[in-house]
Structure 1
Amino acid sequence: MAAAAGSGVGYNTHHHQVGNTGTPPMSAGPSGKRGRGRPLTGGANTSAFKAADVAPAAARRKKQKVAEKHIPDKVASLLPESAIYTQLLEFETRVDAALARKKLDIQEAVRSPPPVQRILRMYVFNTFANQNQDPNNSYHHHQQFGNPREPPSWTLRIMGRILESDAREPDGNTTKPNPALPKFSSFFKRITIQLDPSVYPDNHTIVWDAGRGSNHVEGFEIKRQGDKEFLANIKLEMDYTPERFKLSAPLAAILGVEVDTRSRIIAALWQYIKGKKLQNATDPTLINCDPALQRILGDKSVRFASVSSRLNQHLSPPQPIHLEHRMKVSGPMPASNACYDVSVNVPPPLLKEMSAFLTNLEKHRDIDLYDDLITSSIRKINEHLRRRAFFLGFSHSPVDFINGLIASQSRDLKMVVGQVGRNAEKERRSDFYNQPWVEDAVIRYLNRRPAKASEGPGNT
């Protein structure tokens, strides 16, 4: 809901009280502005109506822009039902304030979303085809006697998905992956699979690298020809965002964590320093290291600003995940179906919805249309109010009203033509033109006049 223009600002009317002249000025300039009037209960020397606002046109327009959605006080007094509209404006102001606070909270959450820990379940298994364990009926035997047959092969599959607590099938298996959650390969920056070099001397190492720009997938599949069992080694290097580090043994001992981000490690170290009261009493930026902290930072006293650089030697990339899989070519399929659970961080489930909310919050087409309609209606109400005041003032005292209107028109006309400071009576006398400024004014006037063709140079 769009913010109410000039919310909380009442519609103020300014009146200039005229003295005992009996001719109150009315604001009705050349543009046809009419004054507002109200009958007064007084004697003959008092004005028959209250003077209207005689502010200049620009000032009046500026005042109306401030309170363009608020009903004037005079209209509210004449129409008690308008109190409901005023209550709606106040409610709109409260709603706009609540939306503004929520918008700031969502913007902060979208800018730095808090991580949500989930379980990534990985499945490692293999299948095989055209395997025959009978040596008299092998693949080579068929090839020698001209019997065409597909060569024996196996397929290694590495798959995974994020577990959801409420996404279970009756048999305990997870359902199809949720498209809103990241895919399996997005959690790794490199996957290396090493086959037995004695069985596969050529190309026994398969590497998938996320830096190559390939699209993320739900799993990997490696297919090779072969009919022998062997042991395959799988190395998974996690892709942490933000980057995580493995702490050295001394640092992990005092902080109680093994792997974490740099910012959280420094924050935990700061809490350790505060808890042990290791800050120097005279210089708070100086840290007095205890024996455990001295083994990490290397000195008895260090500046806290240098702590981050001193921690570099105690931080290393986290160890990759090592898995072993026995490739089987006989028995039931899938063979050696192993399951591994890894804790990972995923974006908040409502991150896309929050981004869409911020986008839609900026598009208030319907609300803007209604706001424009309300503003137009308020302008019409103000115009009718001015007309009513004009005719009401005229009906109560026509003579005083006309005199005030003429005086106001005269002042407006003088202001338009720039003759506000002129005095016609003084200009009629010769002394007015004997003042010191007259000679300079005449010279300026003559120099400013355009020269005629006959007065140009070379003409006589």
Structure 2
Amino acid sequence: MAPAQYPISQAHAIVQAQFQAQLQAHGLTFNPTAKRFPPKPPAPFKPVELLPTARRKRPKPNEKHLPEKASAILPESALYTQLLDLEARLDAALARKKVDIHEALKNPLCVQKTLRIFVFNTFSNQNRSEPPTWTLKIIGRVLDDGEDPDHPGFFQRPSPYPKFSAFFKRVTISLDKRLYPDSNIITWENSRSSATHEGFEVKRKGDQEFSAQIRLEMNYSPEKFMLSPALREVLGVQVDTRARIVSAIWHYVKARKLQNQSDPSFFHCDQPLQNVFGEDKVKFSMVSQKISHHLFPPQVILLEHKIVLSGSSPVGSACYDVMVDVPFPIQRELSALVANVDKNREVDACDESICGIIRKIHEHRRRRAFFVGFSQSPLEFIKALVESQNKDMKILVGESGSGHNADKERKSDFFKQPWVDDAIVRFLNRKPAVGSNVPGST
């Protein structure tokens, strides 16, 4: 859309003609209707989201330091400075230890313990008029050293180890399809459950005995694999993680001095390794890829329990032992230590109190400097103070530092300089504001 044309006044036309004549005398031209580019708008502010539970910022280290002038007044403050240096070294040491602990927690050490699994069933109302029911229960617990699982309070005592369901990726219970055609398969998956459990139970109505199949798939973290017979013969390991398997191959090569002397990135294969890789020479970087077809999911645990509905209840208290990996006891202590170190509310409160005291010391030092300066030379001090305040006042009202001189601008000769004509034309040709009463606006 073309810009609107506004009628110009006679004074405006005279000034514009004089200005163009001056420009032509210097070989220049001026087009007042030329398109002007509007000033670039400022970049929008990035919105800041205010969180209701925003954490308080920790005081900066320099906020806790005394100023040099205050230190000179208080010789005893050297002890405080030494304490700050000691605190800085202590914080640096704690930060390094926290990093080491976090790295250790990423790859926790594990020990093998025995997980004892109990499988049994209970029943009720088998010889009564009410509908008969039965309940299949699968519970388990990690055995600690010297712990008696036959003790009556075995399951009542708190355990420091993970609960039973944490050791399994998937649990599948298969019932007799003829008796329960619509719900004969019951499946529990660890990925769909956020909580861990001490065990599982399945309750159904029925008065006929049958055999239930239980399938337990282990949950390894990190993931473990079962080795092929050829790789098992080389390493003597049946189930392990990929990283440990690759490390074991490296130790095997190093122990038998199979590394290529001319090119250390390769190693020669003896007969057992040739049965695994099918080559005479293999590159170390390709070991993890080449052993993939020698790694299989670990075997599942298959249990069978006969649902018995007569005799004493519970029935069939069979138990099975499975070796599982549990976190090393020190891991729990390290986690608790990191949690306690992070909860430094008391330290933060002390830091805030110290910063408040330092700010008060700053204020008292300034007051002391004021009175000391006044007591030494009252007249010169008052003159310097008045001059400083006068300069500050001029800056505030815009008389100093803005390039304007009010006394000079009051003289009539000030507006007879060569730049005045150009300034008037620019003023008259500026884009009028909406709703303004300046010349050129409607």
Cα deviation digits, residues 54-79 of structure 1 (max 9, x gap): xxxxxxxxxxxxx3312234434444
User: Residue type matched to 1:165 in 2?
Assistant: D
Residues 277 and 170 (structure 1 numbering): CA distance in 2 closer, same or farther, change over 3 Å?
A: closer
Secondary structure (helix, strand or coil) at the match of 2:220 reads coil
Aligned partner of 1:5 among 37, 41, 60? 60
Task: State the TM-score, normalizing by the size of structure 1.
Answer: 0.61
User: Residue type matched to 1:218 in 2?
Assistant: G
User: Residue type matched to 2:237 in 1?
Assistant: V
Higher relative contact order (CA 8 A, sep 6+): 1
How far 1:203 moved relative to its partner? 5.2
Residues 85 and 455 (structure 1 numbering): CA distance in 2 closer, same or farther, change over 3 Å?
A: closer
Aligned partner of 1:99 among 94, 111, 119? 94
Show the counterpart of 2:188: 210
Aligned partner of 1:183 among 141, 163, 166? 163
Which residues of 2 match residues 38-437 of structure 1 at below 5 A? 67-125=62-120, 157-165=137-145, 168=148, 171=151, 174-176=154-156, 178=158, 181-191=161-171, 202=179, 207-211=185-189, 213=192, 216-221=197-202, 225-226=207-208, 234-323=214-303, 336-347=316-327, 364-398=344-378, 401=381
Secondary structure (helix, strand or coil) at the match of 1:447 reads helix
Secondary structure (helix, strand or coil) at the match of 2:64 reads coil
Residues 129 and 447 (structure 1 numbering): CA distance in 2 closer, same or farther, change over 3 Å?
A: closer
Secondary structure (helix, strand or coil) at the match of 2:358 reads helix
How far 1:247 moved relative to its partner? 0.6
How far 1:294 moved relative to its partner? 2.0
Aligned partner of 2:426 among 447, 451, 454? 447
Contact 2:222 2:241 in 1 (8 A): yes
**C-alpha distance in 2 between matches for 1:414 and 1:290:** 92
How far 1:373 moved relative to its partner? 2.9
**C-alpha distance in 2 between matches for 1:187 and 1:441:** 88
Which stretch of structure 1 is more off in the superposition, 233-242 or 353-362? 353-362
**C-alpha distance in 2 between matches for 1:398 and 1:322:** 99
**C-alpha distance in 1 between matches for 2:340 and 2:65:** 27
Secondary structure (helix, strand or coil) at the match of 2:162 reads coil
Cα deviation digits, residues 212-251 of structure 1 (max 9, x gap): 9467451435765346xx8766543322232211111221
Secondary structure (helix, strand or coil) at the match of 1:371 reads helix
Residues 178 and 443 (structure 1 numbering): CA distance in 2 closer, same or farther, change over 3 Å?
A: same
Contact 2:162 2:326 in 1 (8 A): yes
How far 1:364 moved relative to its partner? 4.8
**C-alpha distance in 1 between matches for 2:284 and 2:420:** 75
Contact 2:142 2:161 in 1 (8 A): yes
How far 1:163 moved relative to its partner? 1.9
Cα deviation digits, residues 85-143 of structure 1 (max 9, x gap): 43443443344234323432343344444334332111234567799xxxxxxx8xxxx
Contact 2:120 2:316 in 1 (8 A): yes
User: Residue type matched to 2:84 in 1?
Assistant: L
**C-alpha distance in 1 between matches for 2:421 and 2:341:** 64
Show the counterpart of 1:56: none
Contact 2:227 2:237 in 1 (8 A): yes
**C-alpha distance in 1 between matches for 2:153 and 2:402:** 94
**C-alpha distance in 1 between matches for 2:186 and 2:157:** 22
**C-alpha distance in 1 between matches for 2:238 and 2:295:** 10
Secondary structure (helix, strand or coil) at the match of 1:68 reads helix
Contact 2:207 2:309 in 1 (8 A): no
5+ residue gaps, structure 1, are 7-66, 132-138, 140-147, 428-432
How far 1:409 moved relative to its partner? 6.0
Residues 263 and 440 (structure 1 numbering): CA distance in 2 closer, same or farther, change over 3 Å?
A: farther
Sequence identity, in percent?
44
User: Residue type matched to 2:352 in 1?
Assistant: D
User: Residue type matched to 2:100 in 1?
Assistant: D
5+ residue gaps, structure 2, are 1-56, 409-413
Residues 439 and 276 (structure 1 numbering): CA distance in 2 closer, same or farther, change over 3 Å?
A: farther
**C-alpha distance in 1 between matches for 2:349 and 2:419:** 59
Residues 391 and 242 (structure 1 numbering): CA distance in 2 closer, same or farther, change over 3 Å?
A: same
Secondary structure (helix, strand or coil) at the match of 2:325 reads strand
| Count of paired positions | 370
Residues 231 and 69 (structure 1 numbering): CA distance in 2 closer, same or farther, change over 3 Å?
A: closer
Secondary structure (helix, strand or coil) at the match of 2:322 reads strand
Secondary structure (helix, strand or coil) at the match of 1:107 reads helix
C-alpha RMSD of matched pairs (Å): 4.9
Which stretch of structure 1 is more off in the superposition, 322-331 or 218-227? 322-331
**C-alpha distance in 2 between matches for 1:356 and 1:401:** 61
How far 1:161 moved relative to its partner? 1.2
**C-alpha distance in 1 between matches for 2:367 and 2:212:** 93
Contact 1:184 1:219 in 2 (8 A): no
